[in-house]
Amino acid sequence: MILDTLVQAPQYNALSPRFAPAFAFLRQVHESTPLGRHEIAGEEVFAFVQQHATKPVAERKFEAHRKYIDIQYIVRGRELIYWAPLPLLTTVTMPFDEKMDAALFAGIPEAVPLQLRPGHFAILFPADGHAPSCAWEEPTEVLKVVVKVMV
C-alpha cells in the first residue's frame, strides 16, 4: 500500500510501466470529467470516475483483487480507506469472483485508516485488503477516480 499526493506520483512509475499512463490520466482529471469508465490503455489500464456519499466503516466491506492494482484518487471531498494485510482478513463474505476481480471480507479492528483529501491517492496491491469510501468524521459527497492497473 502506498499513500501519497499526485505531485509525488512520478517516483512510482518504476514499479510498473503501466503506472505512467495511469498517473497521466489522473493529472488531467477535473471536476467536470464525465462520470463512468474511461479507457487509458485497453484492459491493462482503465479508470472509473465516481461520485458518491461516504459511509460509516461498519457499513463497508473489505475488498481485495488479484488481476488489478487499484489507484484510488480523490478529486473533491475526503474519505477514509481502511487498510489491512490480506492474511488478516479471515472472514470471507464473498468468495473471489473472477469476473469482478474481487473478494469481500468482514472488517477487523486492526485495520489502519488512510486519510485521503483532494490530490491524494492510495495504491492498493493484491496483498492489500481495503475498505474504500468510508466517512472521515461524517458522511460527505466525494468525487474520486479508481484507476485499475493490470498486475
Residue 109: pLDDT band with limits 50, 70, 90: confident
Closest CA to 40 of 52, 29, 32: 29
For residue 121, give the nearest of 132, 105, 135 by alpha carbon.
132
74: pLDDT strictly greater than 90 = yes
> Mean pLDDT across the stretch 1-18?
97
Q: What integer is the mean pLDDT of 29-51?
A: 98
Model confidence at 108, in pLDDT bands (50, 70, 90)? confident
Angle at 132 between CA 4 and CA 16, to 5 degrees: 45
Residues 117-131: pLDDT tens digits? 999 999 999 999 999
Per-residue model confidence (pLDDT) at position 31: 96
SS3 sequence, the chain?
A: CEEEEHHHHHHHHHHCCCHHHHHHHHHHCCCCCCCEEEEEECECEEEEEEEEECECHHHCCEEECCCEEEEEEEEECCEEEEEEEHHHCCCEEEEEECCCCEEEECCCCCCEEEEECCCEEEEECCCEEEEEEECCCCCCEEEEEEEEEEC
> What is the model's pTM?
0.95
Question: Which domains occur in the chain, in start order?
Answer: 2-150 (2.60.120.370)
pLDDT, tens only, 52-73: 999 999 999 999 999 999 999 9
